[in-house]
Amino acid sequence: MYEADDPRSAMSAKAPAGGSGAFGQSTYARFYAEEPQETGEGVKTWYTRGQNFVVCYSEVQDGAVFERKGQADEYVLLLHDRDTSALVEANGESIEVPGFTITMVPPGDSKVTVRGSGTVVRLISTQNEDVVAKVSNPEKYAGEHPHCPPFEPWPTPADGFRIRSYSLDVPDEPGRFGKIFRCTTFMVNVFPSMEARDLTKLSPHHHDDFEQCSLALDGWYMHHLRWPWTANLHDWQEDEHEKCAAPSVCVIPPRVIHTSAPSEPDANVLVDIFAPPREDFSDMKGWVLNADDYPRK
């Protein structure tokens, strides 16, 4: 599991889950090598799903517009480029959101108008069928996942839904793991650029009942996945060692042991995505940077 100097080593550990049953399939979506699922005026968008979420990755020109009509629930707008900002309109609010921010957009009707060229990431739950219909990997989710419980959003903030935007300019802090934000539908961990990992100190681990999505925005990553053995030989799968440059997505099924190693130091950006939010990370005091805005499940 984790080395002693990894902040996650302070969390309560669980033994690897046993039992038979399929474990689901991984997804590797390499946007740099694949055609977008959607093109429009000044916009190219790739859509990749997990059990409960869709990653919508867009390359945009100045003035690009993203509208949602009847959005079922809260979604996440990630503007990692410092020079790409946006006007966000929802629920009668209109807020100018700078670059290098993460913004929670309320359900219902909303509009995002992009200022500048760059990349825009939207994270939308699979409760929104119009977005699910666009994904590149529908065959991976033909039925319910055997180890993902039905999606349940976390509690609504006491002051209701509104546009909430947070800067990613957060200084590193010893003992804290990345830059974690949550809302009612997602938990997002935006990592600072990392040094190349010591290959004698990787962190193979698994999650019992939720997927992990790793979105690479810069550099390249080697993703290592290992499926557990069960008594049923038909459940066994070969290990996977996949090199993915940016931009790309790796979706890791529950119970699959995994770890990732980045490329050259200071030349990589990784974003981990979970839907709904993780309880174990929420248990760690000070880890969720906007915890005061969103009550615990």
Dihedral over alpha carbons 208, 249, 236, 276 (to 10 degrees): 20
Contact, 31 vs 248, CB < 8 A? yes
Sequence-distant (6+) residues with CB within 8 A of 200 are none
184: helix, strand or coil: coil
DSSP H helices, the chain, are 129-132, 279-283
pLDDT given at position 16: 44
Residue type (1 letter), 226: R
State the pLDDT at residue 18: 43
Q: Is 199 helix (H, G, I), strand (E, B) or coil?
A: coil
Residue in the block written with tokens 């002693």: 4
The one-letter code for the residue type at 80 is H
pLDDT along the chain (297 residues), means of 10: 61 49 86 97 96 98 98 98 98 97 98 98 98 97 84 96 98 93 98 81 91 96 94 90 97 96 83 97 96 95
Contacts of 291 (CB under 8 A, 6+ apart): 182, 282
Q: Nearest to residue 54, comparing CAs of 223, 187, 213?
A: 213
Domain ranges of the chain: 7-293
- Give the global pTM: 0.92
Instruction: Please tell me the CATH code under which domain 7-293 is placed.
Output: 2.60.120.10
